[in-house]
Amino acid sequence: MTTERIWRRGQLSSQWEEFISGSRGEEMGRGERGWHRRVKTEVRLWSLGRRGRDWSDMWQSFTMWLRIACLLLGLSYSTPASVFQGRDQAHSLLDRAKRANSGWLEEMKAGNLERECLEEVCSYEEAREVFEHDQATNEFWKLYNVADYCHSSPCQNNGTCSNQPSSYGCLCPLGFSGRNCELEFKLVPDTCLHENGGCEHFCEEGGGSRNCSCAAGYVLAADGQRCLAEEMYPCGTVPVLQGILSEKRNLPDDPRSRIVGGTECPKGHCPWQVLLVYGQKGFCGGVIYTATWILTATHCLENIDVRHLKVVAGEHNLDVEEGSEQTVQVVEMVPHPAYVVKTADNDIALLRLAEPIRFSPYAVPACLPRRALAEQELWAVHLHTVSGWGRRSELGPTSRILRKLDVPRIRTQDCVENSGVTVTANMFCAGYIEGKQDSCKGDSGGPLVTRYRQTWFLLGIVSWGKGCARPGNYGIYTRVSNYLDWIHEHTAKQAVNGTETKI
Q: How far apart are CA 2 and CA 289, in angstroms?
A: 147
* The predicted structure's pLDDT at residue 503: 40
418/299 same-domain check: yes
Catalytic, 257? Answer: no
Q: Which one of 201, 299, 316, 336 is the catalytic residue?
A: 299
Q: Is residue 130 part of a domain?
A: no
φ/ψ of 242, rounded to 5, equals -60, -40
Q: Is residue 124 part of a domain?
A: no
Q: Are strands 160-163 and 168-171 parallel, antiparallel or unpaired?
A: antiparallel
Catalytic, 463? Answer: no
Q: Is residue 73 part of a domain?
A: no
What CATH number has the domain bearing residue 310? 2.40.10.10
Q: Which one of 419, 439, 444, 481 is the catalytic residue?
A: 444
220/341 same-domain check: no
Total structural domains within the chain: 2
Q: Is residue 77 part of a domain?
A: no
pTM of the model: 0.60
Q: Is residue 140 part of a domain?
A: no
pLDDT tens for each residue of the chain, 503 residues long: 443 333 333 433 343 344 334 444 444 444 444 444 444 444 343 444 445 556 667 777 777 778 777 777 765 555 554 545 555 555 554 444 444 455 544 555 556 666 667 666 677 777 778 877 788 877 776 666 656 778 889 999 999 998 776 788 898 987 788 899 998 876 666 788 888 999 999 999 887 788 999 999 999 999 999 999 999 999 999 999 875 444 444 433 433 232 234 688 999 999 999 999 998 899 999 999 999 999 999 999 999 999 999 999 999 999 999 999 999 999 999 999 999 999 999 999 999 999 999 999 999 999 999 999 999 899 999 999 999 987 655 455 678 899 999 999 998 888 888 888 889 999 999 988 765 544 545 589 999 999 999 999 999 999 987 655 455 678 899 999 999 999 999 998 554 443 444 34
* The predicted structure's pLDDT at residue 149: 78
* The predicted structure's pLDDT at residue 124: 76
348/201 same-domain check: no
Domain residues for 464? 263-502
Catalytic, 57? Answer: no
Q: Is residue 51 part of a domain?
A: no
291/405 same-domain check: yes
Q: Is residue 24 part of a domain?
A: no
Q: Which one of 316, 345, 347, 387 is the catalytic residue?
A: 347
4-12: which pairs have CB atoms within 8 A and are 24 or more residues apart? Answer: 4/38, 4/39, 4/40, 4/41, 5/41, 5/42, 5/43, 6/40, 6/41, 6/42, 6/43, 7/43, 8/43, 8/44, 8/45, 11/45, 12/45
210/278 same-domain check: no
